[in-house]
Amino acid sequence: MNYLNKQLLLTALLMSTLNSFGQEDSEETTPAFNLSGTVDTYFRYNFSEDQQQAPASSFANSPGFAIGMANLIVSYEGEKSGFVADLVFGPRGNDAVFGSTIGSSPIVNQLYAYLNVSESMTLTLGNFNTFLGYEVISPAANFNYSTSYLFSYGPFSHSGIKADFTINEDWSLMLGLFNPTDMTEYNPMDQYMFGAQLGILGQYINLLTGMGQFQIDYTGGIDLSERFFLGINASTYDSGQDSGFSGIALYPQFQTSDAFALGLRFEAFADDDYVFSDPNTDNTSVTLTGNFTSGNLILKPELRIDSASESLFLGSSLLPSKRLASFVVAAIYSF
C-alpha cells in the first residue's frame, strides 16, 4: 500500500471513531477481570518406520508422548474499553508465534487493547490472531486436534489496527491496516497489508492484500440438523512471485450426545511452488476425530491419512512414499 492509501485509511478510521463516539453512549457494564486458558498434551504414532515425520500442516508433529502448550489469557473488560494478553508456552505455542521468536516476546500470542466506540463499532489496536480461515491456534476451539494445510500455511497473526462494525443482526464488517503477515512485534519495512471481512448470516468473506500479495478466503458452515453441522473453508493465495496455494476443506460434524461428537475433515490442497521444493504439489488429507467431553476435559482420538502427488513421506523400509497414516490422541483441559 502506498503512503497516500495508508493515510486515507487511518484518517477514515479515526474520523469514524470520533463521530460515533460523539453520537452514542454504550450501555454501562460492570468492569470484569478474567483469567482463562487451556493445557494440552498428546500421544502420536505413525504407521511407518520413521516416527519423526509428520504432515506439514500439523502442530501435533512430535513422536510418542508429547506436550502441546499452556495457554494463559488475561483480559479486562471495562465500560467502554479493555485489553487481552494471550500468552503461550510449549512447542505448539512456539510454532504459533514463530514470527516473534526473533525478537523479545516469543510467548505472546495476542496482545491488544480495544475501545467500544459505540454499540455498533469496536476499534482494536495491537497484535491479534488472524480473521482468515476456519481453524484457530487454540486446540480447544478446533474440532480436530491436528490442523489443516489451509490453516498452517497462514497467516497466523496480525499486528495493526482494525475497526469492527455490526451493521445489523445479519451483517458485519471489519476493516484493518496491518504489518506484513506474522511480523508481530514491529515493522522495519514500512510496508503494510490491508484486511477486510464481510459477514453475512454467519458466512464470512475475508480479504488480505498488500506488498504484491493477495489472499481471499471463505469461512462458514451450515446447520443441516440440530446435531449435524457442516463447516466449510476455501482459500487461495498469490504471493506475487509466481507461487502460492489454494485449497478447500469440509468439516462434517455429528453430535451424538452431550458427551460425544464425531467429525471428519476432508481437505484438498495445492501448493504451487510455495513451500515444497517441487512445484505444484497437491495434498489431500482425511482426518477422523472423536470428541469425548467430561467437564472441562476433552479427549480427542484422531486417525489421519495424508496423500501427496510427490513422495514427501517415508514408508516401509524407509522408502519414499506419497502417503502417511498416523494416529493421535490428545487431552485438552480448559479453564
Length of the chain: 335
CB 197 within 8 A of CB 185: no
pLDDT of residue 31: 76
Least confident of 14-28, 59-73, 291-305: 14-28
Residue 13: predicted pLDDT:
46
What does the pLDDT read at residue 103? 63
Question: Quick one: pLDDT at residue 3?
Answer: 43
| Torsions phi, psi for 95 (to 5 deg) | -65, -35
Give yes or no for residue 27 having a pLDDT over 70.
Answer: no
What pLDDT, on a 0 to 100 scale, did the predictor assign at position 277? 52
Mean predicted confidence (pLDDT) in 188-215: 96
- Strand-pairing partners, residue 119, are none
What residues make up the domain containing 315?
3-334
Cβ atoms within 10 A of the Cβ of 102, count?
9
Percent of the chain with pLDDT over 90: 70
Q: Does the pLDDT of residue 255 top 50, yes or no?
A: yes
Check if the beta carbon of residue 326 is closer than 8 Å to that of residue 63.
Answer: no
Cell of 303: 486417525
> 25 pLDDT exceeds 90?
no
- Cell numbers 502427488 correspond to 309
- Per-residue pLDDT of 41-72, as tens digits, reads 999 999 988 888 888 888 999 999 999 999 99
Q: Which of 334, 308, 303 is nearest to 146 (CA)?
A: 303
Q: Grid coordinates standing for 321?
A: 512414499
Q: What is the mean pLDDT of residues 29-38?
A: 87
Phi, psi of 17 (to 5 degrees): -65, -50
Number of domains in the chain: 1
Which residues make Cβ contacts (< 8 Å) with residue 299, sequence separation at least 6?
290, 291, 292, 329, 330, 331, 332
Per cent of the chain over pLDDT 70 is 88
Distance, in Å, from the CA atom of 121 to the CA atom of 107, rounded to the nearest integer, reads 30
- pLDDT tier at 321, thresholds 50, 70, 90: confident
pLDDT (tens digit, 9 = 90+) per residue, 93-106?
A: 999 888 776 666 78
CATH value at residue 303: 2.40.160.10
Cβ atoms 147, 58 nearer than 8 A: yes
125 vs 110: CA distance, rounded Å: 11
Tell whether the model's pLDDT for residue 75 goes beyond 70.
yes
Taking 50 as the threshold, does the pLDDT of residue 306 lie above it? yes
Interval 257-275: pLDDT, tens: 999 999 999 999 998 876 6
> Parallel, antiparallel, or unpaired for β 171-178 and 297-308?
unpaired
Phi, psi of 100 (to 5 degrees): -105, -10
- Band (pLDDT 50/70/90 cuts) for residue 7 is very low
Alpha helical stretches, state H, the chain? 3-23, 91-96, 149-152
The 3-state DSSP class for residue 221 equals strand
Confidence of residue 22 (pLDDT cuts 50, 70, 90): very low
- Residue 84's φ and ψ, nearest 5 degrees, are -135, 130
> pLDDT-based confidence at 325, cuts 50/70/90?
very high
11 vs 4, 17, 113, CA distance in Å? Answer: 10, 10, 19
Q: Are 110 and 128 in contact (CB under 8 A)?
A: yes
257: three-class secondary structure by DSSP:
coil
